[in-house]
């Protein structure tokens, strides 16, 4: 049951993580991928029991208490991971402010990003623009 759950849930995580394995990482995509990763972890922290019922179909002899304990284990793992990724996004790395600011250089991001010039001070010479 746990293996089926992990197999099912691991696909979107491994897809996101695989994007960081490129020999030529794209700094403009890095922060967006980290945000996607954070959102994916957060949504899995709050899985309703009905959403996970498929993983318990073959476990006909498992009582409700055991199922609840297993779900709590997974939810706790997602919660702890989400906290770590969020800490990383909130200045956990020295260069994260630069990566976050560089998103302004991608034209399709400009609609969603701040218009406040100070938010991009991590980009050298941005204040000259």
Instruction: State pLDDT tens for residues 102-112.
Output: 777 777 777 88
Measure the CA angle with vertex 84, ends 65 and 36; round to 5°. 95
Whether 98 maps to a domain, the answer reads no
Whether 128 maps to a domain, the answer reads no
Give CA–CA dist 45/69, Å, rounded: 14
Residue 36: partners with Cβ closer than 8 Å, 6 or more residues away:
16
3-state helix, strand, coil in the chain (%, to 5): 75, 0, 25
Of 31, 15, 18, give the one whose Cα is nearest residue 106.
31
Whether 108 maps to a domain, the answer reads no
Whether 109 maps to a domain, the answer reads no
Full residue range of the structural domain in which residue 39 is found: 2-92
57-100 pLDDT, tens digit per residue, is 787 888 889 888 888 888 899 999 999 999 888 877 778 888 88
Whether 10 maps to a domain, the answer reads yes
- Number of structural domains the chain divides into: 1
Q: What is the pTM of this model?
A: 0.67
Whether 39 maps to a domain, the answer reads yes
Whether 119 maps to a domain, the answer reads no
Q: How many Cβ atoms sit within 10 Å of the Cβ of residue 15?
A: 11
């Amino acid at each position: 049951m746990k293996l089926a759950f992990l197999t099912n849930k691991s696909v979107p995580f491994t897809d996101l993580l695989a994007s960081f394995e490129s020999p030529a990482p794209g700094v403009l995509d890095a922060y967006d991928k980290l945000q996607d990763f954070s959102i994916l972890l957060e949504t899995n922290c709050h899985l309703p029991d009905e959403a996970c019922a498929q993983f318990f179909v073959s476990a006909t002899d498992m009582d409700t208490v055991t199922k609840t304990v297993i779900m709590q284990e997974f939810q706790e793992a997602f919660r702890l991971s989400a906290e770590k990724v969020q800490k990383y996004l909130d200045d956990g790395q020295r260069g994260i402010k630069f990566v976050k600011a560089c998103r302004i250089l991608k034209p399709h991001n400009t609609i969603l990003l701040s218009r406040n010039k100070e938010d991009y001070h991590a980009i050298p010479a941005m204040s000259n623009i």
